[in-house]
Amino acid sequence: MATVEKTLILVNKVGLHARPAALFVQTAARFQASVRVVCNGRQADAKRILPVLQLGAEQGSVLRLFAEGPDADEAINALTRLVQERFGDPE
Amino acid sequence: MAVGLVIVSHSARLAEGVVELAAQMTHGAVRLAAAGGMDDGGIGTSLARVTQAIASADSGDGVVALIDLGSAALIAEMALESLDAEQRAHVRLSGGPLVEGAILAAVEASVGSPLDEVLATAESARSLEKLKR
């Protein structure tokens, strides 16, 4: 199965911490596809909170997403929207 | 539903505060129960409160209990022993850090992970660095 790939820049102020990280993991977990996220030379399973927090992704960090599975496109689209909408935060 | 969490603390307000924080991450998807303070509201841990909290956090998928300090662990173990074997089989105690452990475990539970994964996540919160060095 093809891997769907997407590169994103983290635009929200606090980066992938606490609440945004929780939303990211909860969004990834809605899909069957496996999703990996690479940032700062580290790789994490997007459905696991601890590895996602340990990426240390901050505002301006580049996130590379790799999804594989029947709904990989939908998973990437949902995560892209979340990041671009700053996880619902005003800044 | 999801694995539930019990927050065992010597202070009722501390337990409620940790529940409040963890609830920010789960939006009602996870049962969170505070078991803080003595029955009269004073500082200490109450066996009755812990036992009740375990019952209220359990939706059938199991419960992870996190503890603050010292004798809270003893009381939590006593609460576990007071359960019947079937109930006890799906309750776990975590010695992980109370705040980080509760928040991470709440997120893990919210995505439907099974009991032992939620426990492992609570324990793994030890490795989370608070400060960048």
pLDDT computed for residue B129 by the predictor: 84
Please tell me the total number of residues recorded for chain B in this structure: 133
Q: Is the pTM of this model over 0.80?
A: yes
β-strands A34-39, A42-45 pairing:
antiparallel
Reported ipTM: 0.88
Using a CB-CB cut-off of 8 Å, the residues of chain B touching A47 are 111
Using a CB-CB cut-off of 8 Å, the residues of chain A touching B22 are none
> DSSP state, B127?
G
Q: Is the pLDDT of residue B130 over 90?
A: no
Judge whether B62 lies within some domain. yes
Q: How far apart are CA B62 and CA A10, in angstroms?
A: 36
Nearest residue of A to residue B121, measured between CA atoms = A50
Distance from CA of B25 to the nearest CA of A (A): 6
Judge whether B41 lies within some domain. yes
Q: What is the mean pLDDT of residues B104-114?
A: 96
Q: For chain A, list the domains and their CATH numbers.
A: 3-88 (3.30.1340.10)
Q: Is the pLDDT of residue A1 over 80?
A: no
The total of structural domains in chain B comes to 1
CATH of the domain at B117: 3.40.50.510
Residue B111 is nearest to which of A19, A47, A50, comparing CB atoms?
A: A47
Residue B121 is nearest to which of A21, A49, A54, comparing CB atoms?
A: A49
Judge whether B132 lies within some domain. no
Percent with pLDDT over 70 in chain B:
99
Dump the DSSP string for B61-126: S-EEEEE-STHHHHHHHHHHHHS-HHHHTTEEEE-S-HHHHHHHHHHHHHTT--HHHHHHHHHHGG
Judge whether B29 lies within some domain. yes
Instruction: Indicate the pLDDT class of residue B72, thresholds 50, 70 and 90.
Output: very high
Percent with pLDDT over 90 in chain B:
92
pLDDT digits (tens, 9 = 90+) for A26-75: 999 999 999 999 999 999 999 999 999 999 999 999 999 999 999 999 99
pLDDT computed for residue B133 by the predictor: 65
pLDDT computed for residue B132 by the predictor: 73
pLDDT digits (tens, 9 = 90+) for A26-35: 999 999 999 9
State which residues form the domain around B50: 4-126
Q: How far apart are CA A12 and CA B120, in angstroms?
A: 29
Using a CB-CB cut-off of 8 Å, the residues of chain B touching A49 are 104, 107-108, 121
Active site residues of B: 10
Cβ pairs bridging A and B (under 8 Å) = 35
Q: Is the pLDDT of residue B23 over 90?
A: yes
Distance from CA of A5 to the nearest CA of B (A): 23
